[in-house]
């Protein structure tokens, strides 16, 4: 069949060009949005008197039938259709004849692809938000059971101060919450309809872009036609936001890899989310967490890829932008899958609180509390208190103990100014609970943080359903 645009051509295009030029084999993913857009457009054409009721109805029935064929996998996508827009329009004309030929009035593929792709990105934006919220919900559920579970808090991956496990999980939640907020912000920024921009300069028909925008769920039409058909920053917003999500996922995944090692032993993945080795029969590997960590690579690549495609493009539409789609599809799929898998593997995660407790006793992590006790309760200047604490640490090392395991008499013997009651300062749980400043790790503060996030989540459910 002749191409829809072949009027001014006398020779067929080469097969090589057809293959190079076509996007049909990847942009068919946009079929739902393309049909949705065409229905809104034809409805508007009817409202302004360009289509009769009869023609509009024929178009809608034809589009619905095509949608069903595609959904059932019966629609044949052909290279000669070039892209999803021409595939659907061509099939419509084949199916309903004359009325189908009027659908493309006051429209160009340039605003058509812009609206399809924007709707796809915005719908995916909402889907990623849902998955992030589900993940945060799971983390908060686990956290609620562990606000009193001691573990070593680290800096430089070295034992630093005692924290509780929930506090660590809440830290993850805060990052994922900001990811949600970034998505919400870009949704607000980008939810405007480019349809009706035409090829680049608007159209010479008295169209009603507001009506189309409203039907498609946009806030309103975009302002400038040339910008609307050429910008892809709505897609770059999404790629950046996903890159950030994947960076957060990879940090979480890295901790899960570490924690599931013998050396840490804080958690283990259920068999369902672990893998074996083909040569070492004893092994249980955290492949899931490693893949979650590794998937950030492609997300960063897709972002840099599209930024590079867009760089230096003159206004308005250029075919270069056809290269916008595959990376975006890939990043969205990657984010959705990774969020789902992370969520599922966390729900099944075994948490070894005994091991966390044991590791908290390594590294004298209440040393700062001892120094503070010497200053506050014994009137010793900080520099000296620091020195005495060092001596206590050295004594404990000699005894093969953590300072929190020393007897009161042993500590008192190190300096005559040290007062009784010192054990309380060294107690790891009191040390954790002493950090009761706003945002701190005390059980009380952690519960407050969990509550705040739970309230936020409830509010999200009410607004996003
Ligand atoms: N397949 C094209 C794309 O994805 C659709 C727009 C084509 N417009 C054009 N003037 N050739 O960008």
CA of 74 to the centre of ligand 1 (A): 25
CA of 301 to the centre of ligand 1 (A): 23
Binned at pLDDT 50, 70 and 90, residue 7 comes out as confident
**For ligand 1, mutation pick of 6, 197, 230, 319 (most atoms within 8 Å of CB):** 319
Is residue 261 within 8 Å of 355, Cβ to Cβ? no
Binned at pLDDT 50, 70 and 90, residue 279 comes out as confident
Hey, whose CA ends up nearest to atom 4 of ligand 1?
A: 322
pLDDT of residue 156: 97
Phi-psi region of 418 (alpha: psi -120 to 50; beta: other; left: phi over 0): beta
Active-site residue numbers? 156, 277
pLDDT at 301 > cutoff 80: yes
Ligand 1 atom closest to residue 199's alpha carbon, by position in its atom list? 10
Task: Say whether domain 110-195+206-359 belongs to CATH 1.20.200.10.
Answer: yes
145-168 tens-digit pLDDT: 999 999 999 999 999 999 999 999
Hey, whose CA ends up nearest to atom 12 of ligand 1?
A: 322
Burial class (CB in 10 A: 0-12, 13-18, 19+), 127: middle
17-61 tens-digit pLDDT: 999 999 999 999 999 999 999 999 999 999 999 999 999 999 999
CATH architecture of 367-426: Orthogonal Bundle (1.10)
pLDDT of residue 464: 75
Q: Is 23 in the pocket of ligand 1 (CB under 6 A)?
A: yes
pLDDT at 247 > cutoff 80: yes
Q: Is 27 in the pocket of ligand 1 (CB under 6 A)?
A: yes
Instruction: Compute the distance between CA of residue 23 and CA of residue 21 in angstroms, rounded to an integer.
Output: 7
pLDDT at 183 > cutoff 80: yes
**For ligand 1, mutation pick of 110, 114, 115, 231 (most atoms within 8 Å of CB):** 110
CA of 92 to the centre of ligand 1 (A): 19
Ligand 1 atom closest to residue 317's alpha carbon, by position in its atom list? 10
Mean pLDDT of the chain: 96
Binned at pLDDT 50, 70 and 90, residue 292 comes out as very high
CATH for 16-106 (1.10.260.40, 1.10.275.10, 1.10.8.60, 3.40.50.720):
1.10.275.10
Is residue 348 within 8 Å of 259, Cβ to Cβ? no
Is residue 52 within 8 Å of 46, Cβ to Cβ? yes
Binned at pLDDT 50, 70 and 90, residue 14 comes out as confident
Q: Is 317 in the pocket of ligand 1 (CB under 6 A)?
A: yes
**What are the extents of the domains in the chain?**
16-106, 110-195+206-359, 367-426
pLDDT at 465 > cutoff 70: no
Poorest-pLDDT segment among 227-231, 343-347, 363-367:
363-367
pLDDT at 101 > cutoff 90: yes
């Amino acid at each position: 069949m002749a191409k829809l645009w072949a009027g001014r051509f006398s020779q067929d295009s080469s097969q090589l060009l057809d293959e190079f030029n076509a996007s049909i084999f990847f942009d068919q993913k946009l079929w739902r949005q393309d049909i949705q857009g065409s229905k809104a457009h034809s409805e508007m054409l009817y409202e302004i008197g360009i289509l009769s009721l009869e023609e509009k109805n024929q178009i809608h029935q034809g589009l619905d039938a095509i949608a069903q064929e595609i959904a059932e996998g019966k629609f044949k996508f052909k290279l000669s259709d070039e892209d999803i827009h021409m595939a659907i329009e061509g099939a419509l004309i084949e199916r309903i004849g004359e009325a189908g030929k009027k659908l493309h009035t006051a429209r160009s593929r340039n605003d058509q692809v812009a609206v399809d792709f924007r709707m796809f990105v915005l719908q995916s934006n909402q889907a990623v938000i849902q998955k992030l919220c589900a993940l945060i919900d799971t983390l908060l559920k686990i956290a609620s059971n562990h606000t009193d579970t001691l573990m070593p808090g680290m800096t430089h991956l070295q034992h630093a101060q005692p924290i509780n496990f929930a506090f660590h999980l809440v830290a993850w939640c805060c990052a994922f919450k900001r990811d949600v907020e970034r998505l919400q912000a870009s949704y607000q920024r980008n939810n405007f309809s480019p349809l009706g921009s035409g090829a680049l300069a608007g159209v010479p028909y008295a169209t009603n872009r507001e009506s189309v925008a409203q039907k498609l769920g946009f806030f309103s039409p975009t302002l400038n036609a040339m910008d609307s058909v050429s910008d892809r920053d709505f897609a770059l917003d999404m790629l950046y936001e996903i890159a950030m999500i994947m960076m957060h996922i990879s940090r979480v995944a890295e901790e899960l890899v570490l924690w599931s090692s013998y050396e840490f032993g804080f958690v283990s993945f259920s068999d369902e989310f672990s893998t074996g080795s083909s040569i070492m029969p004893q092994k249980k590997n955290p492949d899931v967490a490693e893949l979650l960590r590794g998937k950030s690579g492609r997300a960063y690549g897709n972002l840099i890829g599209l930024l590079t495609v867009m760089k230096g493009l003159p206004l308005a539409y250029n075919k270069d932008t056809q290269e916008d789609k595959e990376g975006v599809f890939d990043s969205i799929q990657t984010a959705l899958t990774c969020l789902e898998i992370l969520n599922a593997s966390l729900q099944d995660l075994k948490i070894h609180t005994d091991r966390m407790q044991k590791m908290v006793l390594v590294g004298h992590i209440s040393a700062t509390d001892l120094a503070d006790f010497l200053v506050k309760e014994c009137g010793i200047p900080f520099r000296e208190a620091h020195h005495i604490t060092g001596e206590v640490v050295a004594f404990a090392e000699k005894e093969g103990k953590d300072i929190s395991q020393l007897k009161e008499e042993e500590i008192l013997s190190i300096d005559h100014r040290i007062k009784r009651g010192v054990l309380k300062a060294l107690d790891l749980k009191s040390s954790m609970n002493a950090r009761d400043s706003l945002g701190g790790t005390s059980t009380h503060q952690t519960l407050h943080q969990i509550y705040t996030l739970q309230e936020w989540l409830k509010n999200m459910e009410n607004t996003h359903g």
